Amino acid sequence: MPPTPTRPPHYAELCGLLKEAATLGSIGSLLGWDQETYMPPAAAGHRAQQQALVAGLVHERQSSPRVGELLQACEADPALRQDPAAAANLREMRRDYDRATKVPTDLVAELARTGSLAQEAWKDARARNDFPAFAPWLTKMMTLSRRKADCLAPGSPEPYDALLDEYEPGMTAKEIAAVFAPLRDRLAQLIGRVRASGRTPDQSVLKIRTDPQQQHRFGELVLKAMGFDLSAGRLDVTTHPFCSGMAPGDTRLTTRYTGEGFLEPLYGTMHEGGHGLYEQGLPKADHFGEPLGEAISLGIHESQSRMWENFVGRGRAFWEWALPEARRLLGPALEPVTVDAVYAAANTVRPSFIRVESDESTYNLHIMLRFEIERALISGDLRADDLPGVWNERFESYLGLKVPDDRRGCLQDVHWSFGLVGYFPTYTLGNLYAAQLWEMINRQLPGLESDIRRGELIPLRDWLRANIHAHGKRYRAAELCQRVTGRPLSSDPLLRHLESRLAPVYGL
């Protein structure tokens, strides 16, 4: 669909209003990026006021009655309904408008206020390993989240779906559970076989110290090879890596060079680089502020980051190209390192109590545990007070480890304390989508492996751009998956991928 000139006036006005909201949103993103990168600490108080003001202006526009009127007029226009691009835009604009208007403002405010207090309570409780102190706050936040779900989808038999829909539009808990169940069981088996192998790969490569500035150059070199356009983006350093595709021509990544080793920082950079490529590949020049210029879902977004981090970055082919480059930039400490050593270190299974420290395989078990629990908290099948018992029991059954305390158990993540429910499963959905796409890509690009071995990563980026990025929100995730891979989402490709990765390391 070409931009404005040929658009009927009600559709053009609608797109214009939403573009203004998105422009304000892009300013909010810059405020957020600056806060994490360069803002002086004393500016924090005023920054909160700036953010609140911008968020209010965005919401005012997104939920304005005029948007509602125009949306109705467009939905009644047969020409627009028959144009697939416009129809996709309108489908998603309707979803956004309903989500922005169906929850009463006092409930939104109460969620924000209580979430902010609950987050403080969570911090204290975690520090003191005192779950009972946090339990009433968790109950409050789950009650409010359930009320929000009831506003969004009154009378739904699965209120959790309305919360999930915020991050993974159109996906349901039932569909997720159907894919997660076999994944969980076979992954638990796989990890059992790893444990039974008795092997512990040499991890010393993870501890090699190198200069952070040179690591930064190495990261930029890899980003360039991936086809990330550094004249339309940046790489900076923050406490927690992130990607902000804040505006047309402006996609900013961050990474960190803490602790020992050069591998984890590189994976941070490649992960955010994958997100960044998605943002740079979206057709924002023509469709900024419209769903056609936006990412499909967090799951699809995560599939892009995981593909570059895990499927490319932890592969042997990648290191055949990257290790000489790393040696050149990071210096003599890398001289004795071999591709085999990096491969083994990058594909080691390390069952851990802490999600963010876990490896590519066990990570998914952490996620599935959280999905099951948050679904039960929202349905009412699980009470907040009973959380630690359920958590510890399932954790042991999935990962074979006894949780020593709640700090290393159900108190470890911040998400629920401020009402982020339905977010966790998108991480593993990302892995699943990535694996299924990866099999199809390798079928369609039979030379990919040898391209990667020479550092030729652009064919992969171009495939992703043409098949995923360029569509914006034209298709929902499930439809895109079916169109691109010819099959609905399945756990088989991810299991095949993990098995083939771990086989040489553990002699499986």
- List active site positions: 272
Distance CA 366, CA 42 (A): 37
Amino acid identity for residue 387 in this structure: L
Interface region with its own copies, contact rule CB under 8 A, candidates 113-121, 176-184, 201-209, 241-249: 241-249
Report the residue number, 61 or 473, with the smaller CB distance to its own copies: 61
Distance CA 214, CA 207 (A): 16
Is position 55 an interface residue for its own copies (rule: CB under 8 A)?
A: no
Report the residue number, 52 or 354, with the smaller CB distance to its own copies: 52
Sheet holding 233-237, edge to edge: 233-237, 250-255, 243-247
Is position 42 an interface residue for its own copies (rule: CB under 8 A)?
A: yes
For the record, the structure tokens of 238 come out as 């923050």
Interface region with its own copies, contact rule CB under 8 A, candidates 231-239, 378-386, 401-409, 434-442: 231-239
Shortest reach from residue 116's CB to its own copies, in Å = 20
The residues with which 238 forms a beta bridge, in sequence order, are none
Interface region with its own copies, contact rule CB under 8 A, candidates 166-174, 182-190, 233-241, 462-470: 233-241
Selected binder of its own copies within 18, 86, 121, 247 (CB under 8 A): 247
- Between strands 250-255 and 243-247, the pairing is antiparallel
Report the residue number, 248 or 261, with the smaller CB distance to its own copies: 248
Interface region with its own copies, contact rule CB under 8 A, candidates 112-120, 230-238, 357-365, 449-457: 230-238
* 8 A C-beta contact, residue 155 and residue 166: no
Interface region with its own copies, contact rule CB under 8 A, candidates 26-34, 108-116, 169-177, 270-278: 26-34
In Å, how far are 104, 149, 152, 176, 380 from 157, measured between CA atoms?
21, 11, 13, 16, 12
Is position 39 an interface residue for its own copies (rule: CB under 8 A)?
A: yes
Selected binder of its own copies within 110, 236, 451, 492 (CB under 8 A): 236
Residue 446 has phi, psi (to 5 degrees) of: -60, -20
3-state secondary structure of 255: strand
Is position 43 an interface residue for its own copies (rule: CB under 8 A)?
A: yes
x/- letters, 397..436, toward its own copies (CB under 8 A):
----------------------------------------
For the record, the structure tokens of 470 come out as 């360029």
> Residues binding its own copies: what is the number (CB under 8 A)?
38
Is position 228 an interface residue for its own copies (rule: CB under 8 A)?
A: no
Task: Count helices and strands (H / E) in the chain.
Answer: 22, 3
Nearest alpha-carbon partner for 459 in 312, 322, 339, 295: 312
Q: For 381, which DSSP code?
A: S
Shortest reach from residue 269's CB to its own copies, in Å = 16
Report the residue number, 228 or 438, with the smaller CB distance to its own copies: 228
Shortest reach from residue 22's CB to its own copies, in Å = 10
What lies within 8 Å, CB to CB, of 49 at 6+ separation is none
Is position 48 an interface residue for its own copies (rule: CB under 8 A)?
A: no
Selected binder of its own copies within 27, 85, 178, 237 (CB under 8 A): 27
Selected binder of its own copies within 112, 177, 232, 508 (CB under 8 A): 232
Residue given tokens 């895990």 in the structure block: 310
In Å, how far are 242, 283, 333, 403 from 192, measured between CA atoms?
33, 45, 35, 18
Is position 31 an interface residue for its own copies (rule: CB under 8 A)?
A: yes
Is position 269 an interface residue for its own copies (rule: CB under 8 A)?
A: no
Backbone conformation region of residue 236, classed left if phi is above 0, alpha if psi is from -120 to 50, else beta: beta
The residues with which 236 forms a beta bridge, in sequence order, are 254
3-state secondary structure of 215: helix
Binding site residues, its own copies, CB under 8 A: 20, 23-24, 26-27, 30-31, 34, 37-47, 49-50, 53-54, 57, 229-234, 236, 247-252, 288
